Amino acid sequence: MRFALVDLQLPNRKANRDHTGGFGSFMQAEGIFGALVSGLKSRLINLPVLSFGYTSAMLRDKGHQCRFYTEGPVEGADVIIIASSMHSYSYEVAFAKEQKHRHPDAKVGFYGPFAQTKPEFFPDADFIIGGELESAIEAFLAGKHNFSGVLDYGTVQDLTRLPMPDWEGFPVAQYSYFPMLHRRPFLPLQSTRGCSFNCDFCPYMVSQTKLFRRRDPKHVVDEMERNVRLYGMRSFLFRDICFTLNKKHAAEIAEEMLRRNLDLEWGCETRLDCLTVELIDLLVRAGMRGVNLGIESVSNDILKGAGKKNPEIAHQEMIIAALQARGVRVNAFYMLGLPGDTVESMEQTIDYACKLNTQGAQFCITTPFPGTPLYETQKSQLITTDFTQFTEYKPVVDIGTATPADVSRAQARAYRRFYLRPGWMLRYGLGTLLRLIANFLPGPAPLPPDPPRNNSPLGKTLSEAGG
């Protein structure tokens, strides 16, 4: 059979369908400086839908044809699988109707957690795939369905069954994750799925669930070597929900990379309570140069209302100081408008972000994603049911303790305060600008050196160490 995998690129917005647990993200932060940061991220962060890479490999291994599309028209396909998003679903529905008109005998459907949780927004689809896409592909290859109706075969229980993603025909040269990772070609990898922390607001739980699953470390590093050989990969991002959730597993991957003497720059996402100084040292030796950290709020009391708990402030500051001292680029995520947030508590979170002074900070407006516990508790407080507004950059809930306007103003103020401070400009501004220029140059342009490392004693807090 002939398959088409579609990650639709839009003229007026970037859907980023592999972000936010598959719901997609569309950064449009408030304020002049927020808009500037949004534009740069839209230009410089470009990730493929990782499950499409796995799907392509699975189908081609069994003799099926598979082509990747970012625009129409699709040519000669029997099955067209369109990656869905929440904020751009209307474009995807229109695209599907157009392809169905061109190919009336083809099966045209959608994959992703938004289509899974809100199938009523995709009334003309021949099929909707919920759960993990690879499970539905495995079921098809086993003769269990022929792409009709609602297909939810849950999660892939054993990740070792999956082949390495096949990126043939994908625009690999366009993928990037700047400013965290500077080298290109760049590709995503995945060593685990699921997360036992299972935070109430986490959109990744809708498809991956809390069931934590691991790939064999040697197989993960085999994929790195293969990507270097076939695609010239020079950097990669682990697309695990929490890469160091199992510290031993993460350490085994790093140790295997060191044994093979791989010269790769890479990043990951994890939690502050899943890192130790000893593990950081090992990961840095293996090439880790960037970390995404979900801090969300300075207040654990407010976080409890969203089903999350952070370690004590002293531990947070110690771990971030350890990362910065080793030259790791830290990008911190914050959520404004959490249940119970007030104007004062949001200001305290912004103050804390400025104190940590990480290289990057992303201030999202808390958004309840369908299928999450937070959505169930907040759906009576929604101020809109227009899901195109659920971008994480517009308030869609009246939390009662702060108005939607208060939350919007806090977000605009957060970007302005964080990036226009002398402390950030002096530490990161020039280096970021030079690397930004280098990133726009054609080819693998030489990059300027990293800014000087913070050699402050790790036992000090950031304030004591001048952070």
Percent above pLDDT 70 for the chain: 90
Last residue of a domain, one of 134, 160, 186: 160
CATH number at residue 315: 3.80.30.20
Mean pLDDT computed over 313-328: 97
Does the pLDDT value for residue 459 go beyond 50?
no
Band (pLDDT 50/70/90 cuts) for residue 155 is very high
Q: What pLDDT shows up at residue 427?
A: 92
> What's the total number of domains in the chain?
2
Band (pLDDT 50/70/90 cuts) for residue 41 is low
Q: Position of tokens 């008109």?
A: 101
SS3 assignment, position 397: strand
Residues 295 and 150 in one domain: no
Percent above pLDDT 90 for the chain: 85
Residues 240 and 352 in one domain: yes
Residues 68 and 206 in one domain: no
Q: What pLDDT shows up at residue 390?
A: 94
Residue 412 C-beta-side C-alpha neighbours within 13 Å: 12
Average pLDDT, the chain: 91
Does the pLDDT value for residue 171 go beyond 80?
yes
Does the pLDDT value for residue 466 go beyond 90?
no
Residues 354 and 214 in one domain: yes
Residues 143 and 224 in one domain: no
Residues 291 and 399 in one domain: yes
Spatial separation of the C-alpha atoms in residues 53 and 364, rounded to whole Å = 29
Domain interval for residue 278: 175-440
Helix or strand holding residue 411 (H, E): helix 404-419
Mean pLDDT computed over 414-431: 92
The pTM for the full model equals: 0.90
Residues 135 and 182 in one domain: no
Spatial separation of the C-alpha atoms in residues 240 and 269, rounded to whole Å = 7
Say if 43 falls within a structural domain: no
* Residue, of 253 and 464, whose pLDDT is higher: 253
Q: What pLDDT shows up at residue 12?
A: 76
CATH number at residue 113: 3.40.50
Say if 446 falls within a structural domain: no
Residues 115 and 153 in one domain: yes
Say if 454 falls within a structural domain: no
Last residue of a domain, one of 160, 186, 207: 160
Residues 155 and 238 in one domain: no
* Residue, of 428 and 462, whose pLDDT is higher: 428
Last residue of a domain, one of 95, 127, 160: 160
Residues 404 and 380 in one domain: yes
Mean pLDDT computed over 99-120: 97
Say if 429 falls within a structural domain: yes
Say if 392 falls within a structural domain: yes
Mean pLDDT computed over 69-73: 94
Residues 244 and 156 in one domain: no
Residues 268 and 409 in one domain: yes
Say if 22 falls within a structural domain: yes
Q: What pLDDT shows up at residue 456?
A: 32
- Give the least confident one: 109-113, 306-310, 441-445: 441-445
- Cα separations in angstroms, 192 against 129, 196, 259, 281: 21, 12, 21, 21
Per-residue pLDDT tens over the stretch 183-203? 999 999 999 999 999 999 999
Per-residue pLDDT tens over the stretch 383-417? 999 999 999 999 999 999 999 999 999 999 999 99
Does the pLDDT value for residue 60 go beyond 50?
yes
